[in-house]
Chains A and B, each alone.
Chain A
């Protein structure tokens, strides 16, 4: 009988310990490490000898809270001149964390690639080539040529950033490859910028 009491006391002690030992932790703020809040397309004119001339034109898409239900991102219209050739660079940042993601994309160039789609290419208003250093297909730096007779002053361009794709997939080295999904991977960015031609 004595033993039994002892055992039940041990059981109780264990029970009390177990029940007391686990309370949930206080929640902590989580810094969104993955989120892209700002995407800036920077255009600068290239002259006939492919030298940069003039000032830089910046057009930005931003979503300051990252992905948040009920808010839509703000996307500026791209305004360019007909018949000109531009260098287009892309900057990607996470303003919540104050992080420059452009560099990360460059470091992981083997896993990332931008594709450029939409009516602006379907109607041959823009033509685009990758112009990244080392001749890789990445899309952080590009050459964009605007048609001198686009037939319209308003169009749109869709910018897609793919992650984890098979870059050697047939056709994937084309910056306007519409079937990018077939190369596998997933989408990190998918933004449609309105385009105004002057």
Chain B
């Protein structure tokens, strides 16, 4: 497989020079909006200097330019009373979708960066992106928490420091996270394994809610999250951004700095460095502190790139390290311990505030290095190559006796290599598409010396995939289809006592999708996507055998599990009018052989006491639901928003419910802008309300019943100031204003403790 890939790579590299230039057929679609309130601008004029072509925006601010040549172009947008936008863009994909925000001339806010936003992924399935102001509001939160702002995304968490994103009821190995285009490969099988990524490195977070196995490979059955850093500068300029965040709850602080620059001497050469750090102490609920819930996290990333009209290259590196305290009382010795604390409803340990992190804790580091290059063979064909290397170390420390406390109970080292070669085309005849090869090679090793039989074995994994996608674009209609084939081998080995257990497994599957988007009229658009996806069973599902320390559970894997296969149909309806927007997503997902951890109802007795026994089983599952979000401008000053989601998930074989499926929830709020220019949002007050229903659809067995419904009130004030001719954004946010005591069904710590109480958060963002 690898040799073939190398041969192909060589063949393509050699043939690069022999092809001659062909016709230009790119399409640039975009919107022009007012900077602050996102209202469309009609009749703004868009001009592309190099192509000598231009067009005016329609009533919804939309424009389309066709028959463009690839490469660097200067886009110029003018509108009366507004500052002209002049920006260099690189046209390479079939259809570029850009949003430009124009700033009013009257306000002397010089030096504000115009945020040209391009959708990170071209797909006909439902996509939501967090960027700009919305992303700014989420700064200081983990990836999971930040993404909760997207309708249909919730979190599966273990306390307040570990949260995993859940898309349409699926999480962990059923969704894929891409760090700057590379599949994030860490330990993702447990509820207590947070994604090893810092959202501070991104300038946009995109959630793809459909099955995207064809594009991204196995495991992307629930959806995909793209964490994308900003594009590297291609001209001489320098952008520095500083973020400071302080919280009263946990007395947490964040510092994040990024700097990007472009070379004047070598046009097209750009770089970026970015770093962030966070420290937090024990979390406080309305009535008590959660013992040992502090955390310390740092991240660093850097990128260097060069792009010209023919070629683009980028080298990228990111490093992430975290040390997370686990609530002391959540680590129980046996079933009666667990039941005692559940009955108590709160931790027994009387904790005080401290930054000190003791056992139980996790120490995780993640390195990711990437090399990317693309080459325009001719105006219609482009070759992309991408290679990623990742090293993930996870150490979990339990409370043990004596010197054993300094030794991790779980110590895993995971290496992953990913490589992909993709050939893209966009022909003048309305057809665009891509085809390619993906390779994943992975090696997982238990670092010896833990003094505990490893829960998962050492293993080597090799996955090869080939795919083909094609899109037809004409007028208001986009149609897309794709198919993919994957082959995976896993060979695993470990010692249980003196027995060497070995297993060699292979999986192969095909996936297909068919999707479309239709712009019904300037206000309404409809998307529909039907796709199959698959996920091979994870190593823990196959091989777990033994005590899950701290969870008072014995978990039994099954080496005979089959791959999960899903068929997901996602439909989206979007409305964008003068006064408001509406986005409705409805989906149905049929999963065959869905793997879940089932309580056997049996208990296991040892000298340590009694444990519940769980086993991994497979059953057919059916998920369906709705996400709805919308905004409305009541007046120039008063804006409102609402979003909500509903998920239903059932085991269709036994007609029962699965555990940890998010309950119905909604979030709505009003924002009022003070002052004469409400568009600028210079002074804004936001009041919001989160409503979460009780999960009435509970599984047959749960350690504790679902917690009651709850409502939270949040209040925020934000202000933009001018400081040394640059903008300083300041915001004060109060979360859980009424200090309501609540428990969230999707938080595993609901068994042990109430959730986080009131938190005052002060944020500064300064760009210069």
Contacts and interface: CB of A to CB of B under 8 A. Distances in A.
B609 A104 contact: no
Contacts, number: 176
B373 A7 contact: yes
A135 to B, nearest CB: 23
Contacts of B635: none
B347 to A, nearest CB: 8
A48 interface: no
A34 B451 contact: yes
B449 to A, nearest CB: 8
27 contacts: A1-B17, A12-B9, A18-B387, A22-B415, A22-B417, A23-B443, A23-B460, A24-B458, A25-B458, A27-B495, A29-B497, A30-B451, A33-B407, A67-B607, A68-B606, A69-B556, A69-B613, A104-B402, A164-B399, A181-B336, A181-B337, A181-B341, A183-B348, A184-B329, A184-B348, A186-B332, A189-B609
Contact of A27 (B371, B494, B554): B494
Interface in B323-351: 328-329, 331-334, 336-337, 340-341, 344, 347-350
A166 interface: yes
A166 B9 contact: no
By size class, the interface of chain A is 35 or more
Given A36-B607, A184-B329, A191-B607, A15 B446 contact: no
A27 B493 contact: yes
Contacts of A101: 401
Contact of B453 (A1, A12, A30): A30
A63 interface: yes
Nearest to B448: A28
A187 B610 CA distance: 11
A104 B401 contact: yes
Contacts of B458: 24-27
A106 to B, nearest CB: 11
B446 A27 contact: yes
A184 B498 CA distance: 36
Interface of B: 2, 6, 9-10, 13-14, 16-17, 311, 313, 328-329, 331-334, 336-337, 340-341, 344, 347-350, 371, 373, 375, 385, 387, 389, 399-402, 404, 407, 409, 415, 417, 419, 441, 443-446, 448, 450-454, 457-460, 493-495, 497-498, 500, 545-547, 554, 556, 604-610, 613
Contacts of B328: 164, 184
Interface in A67-92: 67-69, 72-73
A32 B451 contact: yes
Nearest to A21: B415
A65 B493 CA distance: 20
A11 B371 contact: yes
A11 B605 contact: no
Contacts of B497: 29, 65
Contacts of B373: 7, 11
Given A8-B10, A69-B604, A27 B333 contact: no
A12 B344 CA distance: 60
Given A19-B441, A190-B609, A184 B349 contact: yes
Contact of A14 (B341, B387, B404, B452): B387
Given A101-B401, A188-B333, A67 B608 contact: yes
Contacts of A188: 333, 608
A51 interface: no
B390 to A, nearest CB: 10
A34 B409 CA distance: 10
A189 B606 CA distance: 9
Given A1-B17, A36-B608, A24 B459 contact: yes
Nearest to B343: A181
Contacts of A189: 607-609
A30 B495 contact: yes
Contacts of B16: 1, 4
Contacts of B10: 8, 12
A30 B448 contact: yes
B375 A4 contact: yes
A186 B333 contact: yes
A4 B607 contact: no
A160 to B, nearest CB: 8
Given A8-B9, A26-B493, A27-B454, 15 more contacts: A5-B13, A5-B14, A12-B9, A19-B419, A26-B458, A27-B494, A29-B495, A31-B451, A33-B407, A67-B607, A73-B605, A105-B401, A187-B608, A188-B333, A191-B607
A36 B606 CA distance: 10
A53 interface: no
A186 B375 CA distance: 60
Contacts of B613: 69
Given A4-B311, A14-B387, A34 B404 contact: yes
A182 to B, nearest CB: 5
B404 to A, nearest CB: 5
A16 interface: yes
A181 B546 CA distance: 24
